[in-house]
Amino acid sequence: MSTLVLFGVFFIAIILGTPLGVSIGLATLVVMEFVAGTPKSTLLIKNAIVGADNFPLVAVPMFILAGEIMLAGGLSKRIVAAANSLVGNVRAGLAYVNVLSSMFFAAISGSSPATVAAIGSNMIPEMEKRGYRRDFSAALTAASGMLGVMIPPSIPLIIYGVTANVSLGSLFLAGILPGILFGLSYMVVARLIVHKNYQAPTRLQQDDSIMEVGDGKSGIWALIVPVIILGGIYGGVFTPTEAAGVAVIYALFVSIFIYKEIKLQDLTGIFVKSGMVSATVMIMVVMAFAFGRLLTIQQVPVQLADWIAGISNSMVVIMMLVNLLLLVVGMFMEPVAAIIILAPILLPVVEAVGIDPLHFGIIMTCNLAIGFCTPPVGINLFVASTISEVKVEAIIKKVIPFLFAMLVSMALITYVPTISTFLPSLAQ
């Protein structure tokens, strides 16, 4: 009964347009106060404080701030120029540049919508100039943008690490090969369908081409950010949380003194914007900790594990069911909230069939990331639509081949654990 009321209040609040973090907290409060037999609203506050009192969570607002600085500081367009210097001259080259740029920026921002905004604002107009259909370019950018939550540093991976008590350093390493796999699959699809999405180039003026920014050479300052972050972590110089602070300092230095595209008076707006995004995320995080604690008290994870075990004891079947559940949840819920709510529920289920928590963190993040490109929520679709001025419906049609590539990659990641665990095993 308590569980039904909990999820009922939660979904009703969502339908009424209540912010996600508030919906989670409201549902938890109602059950704690009126249903569960323990009228202690202070328990909600206590669990929220305990959830927030976690040092690794400091990395979340820091990486968000670093991403905002890099977006405003001109790093994204130089990443595009650098990627173009590598693969821009081959057939379907600009499609490859789009994917490669997203992979590079993903290793900086940790955010999927931010990756779409940063790369799409540069790549979509550029691809149209050179003959690519605008709806195809927008769909490719939306798909590539999901790499922002897969390739480290990744905000959802940080949240999963905190929730499931898994090493952030290991999760960061585990996300690299799956992110590359997804990126390569997009390149293959783009190469196969590019002839259907190419038309006569429009006017092309080399002097206003984003590809000519420093001939891609100045992009080295942006491209070495992942090297600094991951190298520092695995070299024992700093922790993943401290790496987020280093990323902020480096982004400020490069944006102000190297590229000179940010002035001191611009910092106020950047700090306010990143602060608002961080506050939204952190409210969801602390409320979801209390939500998850209540689920544990109500023994929901145990009941779900027993129910799934009654269906089958096959790892293949159970992981197929878990993947389907996560794909559906990802269509309606933001990954951060979904991870905090579902990780404590699903971990006992997958561990019972031999799935390592590290491996499951990648499975969970990748499944939920696909939701960025699927309606009805599909944040990446709407961001790409805004940037490209193409209707969402048109982008959805063009993104279908890339969704197929995502599902194939997801199956490989699920049933070939080495893809996720190989790099972490080398670091041990």
Q: Which ranges of 175-257 does DSSP label H, i.e. alpha helix?
A: 176-193, 220-223, 225-234, 240-253
User: Residue holding tokens 């650098």?
Assistant: 82
Q: In the prediction, which pLDDT does 42 show?
A: 66
The number of beta carbons lying within 10 Å of the beta carbon of residue 334 is 19
Q: In the prediction, which pLDDT does 122 show?
A: 78
List the beta bridge partners of residue 198: 132
Q: In the prediction, which pLDDT does 207 show?
A: 44
d(CA 16, CA 335): 20
d(CA 25, CA 22): 5
User: Are 370 and 156 contacting, i.e. CB atoms less than 8 angstroms apart?
Assistant: no
User: Are 199 and 131 contacting, i.e. CB atoms less than 8 angstroms apart?
Assistant: yes
DSSP single-letter state for residue 374: S
DSSP single-letter state for residue 242: H
Q: In the prediction, which pLDDT does 166 show?
A: 92
Per DSSP, the three-state class of 133 is: coil
Closest CA to 47 of 245, 293, 331, 213: 293
The number of beta carbons lying within 10 Å of the beta carbon of residue 307 is 10
Planar angle of CA 230, 233, 238, nearest 5 degrees? 135
User: Are 33 and 45 contacting, i.e. CB atoms less than 8 angstroms apart?
Assistant: no
Tens of pLDDT along the chain (428 residues) come to 677 787 788 778 878 877 767 887 888 777 777 765 555 556 666 766 766 666 667 777 888 888 788 778 877 778 777 777 777 666 678 889 889 888 888 877 777 887 888 788 878 888 888 888 899 999 999 999 899 888 888 888 988 998 898 998 899 999 999 999 999 999 999 999 888 876 655 444 444 455 554 444 566 787 787 788 878 877 778 887 788 888 889 889 988 988 888 888 899 999 998 888 788 777 777 777 777 777 767 777 667 767 777 788 889 999 999 999 899 888 877 788 788 888 888 998 899 889 999 999 999 999 999 988 988 778 888 888 988 889 988 999 999 999 999 999 999 999 999 999 999 998 76
Structure-token pair, residue 220? 């080295």
User: Residue holding tokens 């960061």?
Assistant: 172
Cβ-in-10-Å burial (0-12, 13-18, 19+) of 273 comes to: middle
| b/e burial code for range 246-259 (CB count within 10 A of at least 16 → b) | bbbebbbebbbeeb
Structure-token pair, residue 375? 């309606």
Per DSSP, the three-state class of 376 is: coil
Closest CA to 234 of 103, 423, 362, 107: 423
For the entire predicted model, the pTM comes to: 0.79
Q: In the prediction, which pLDDT does 30 show?
A: 79
Distances (CA, A) of 311 to 305, 315, 318, 347: 10, 11, 8, 17
User: Residue holding tokens 């194939």?
Assistant: 408
Q: In the prediction, which pLDDT does 206 show?
A: 44
